[in-house]
Amino acid sequence: GENVEQHPSTLSVQEGDSAVIKCTYSDSASNYFPWYKQELGKRPQLIIDIRSNVGEKKDQRIAVTLNKTAKHFSLHITETQPEDSAVYFCAASLWGTSYDKVIFGPGTSLSVIP
């Protein structure tokens, strides 16, 4: 079945450094790739997403890149701050069809050390 792998599972960075989280997906038909941030005890919240017809998208300190050929996509956070500490989930889906399933990665726990 469809699968999304995510690495690393845990990541510690110093405040101000960059953080990179990488995901790979198995279903080459996937066309929508959201990233969610989940703070401890809270609900997942969308932070950025990318469609398969775009190679890169940026929103302030957050960027996502997509390599369709390699079936890889990555989240980049620059100038990290302590409030960036959370669990981050990538996901892949085949949006716009009757096959409406989003497959999530297992998550990356990011710690930003002040």
Partner 1 sequence: NAGVTQTPKFRVLKTGQSMTLLCAQDMNHEYMYWYRQDPGMGLRLIHYSVGEGTTAKGEVPDGYNVSRLKKQNFLLGLESAAPSQTSVYFCASRRRRQETQYFGPGTRLLVL
CA 104, 42, 62 angle in degrees (round to 5)?
60
Helix H, strand E, coil C: the string for 30-96 is CCEEEEEEECCCCCCEEEEEEECCCCEEEECCEEEEEECCCCEEEEEECCCCHHHCEEEEEEEECCC
Nearer to partner 1, 58 or 101 (CB): 101
Residue with tokens 């050390």: 113
Of 14 and 53, nearer to partner 1 (C-beta) is 53
Shortest Å distance, C-beta 7 to partner 1: 13
Closer residue to partner 1 in complex, CB, 6/80:
6
Terminal CA-CA length for the chain: 41
In the bound complex, what is the minimum distance in angstroms from residue 112's beta carbon to partner 1? 21
Binding site for partner 1 (CB under 8 A): 1, 4, 6, 9, 32, 34, 42-46, 49, 89, 91, 93, 95, 98, 100-107
Tokens standing for 24? Answer: 């790979």
**Minimum distance of partner 1 from residue 15's CB (angstroms):** 26
Q: Identify which of residues 77 and 91 has a Cβ nearer to partner 1 in the complex.
A: 91
Beta bridge partners of 4: 25
Q: How far is the CB of 79 from partner 1 (least distance, A)?
A: 25
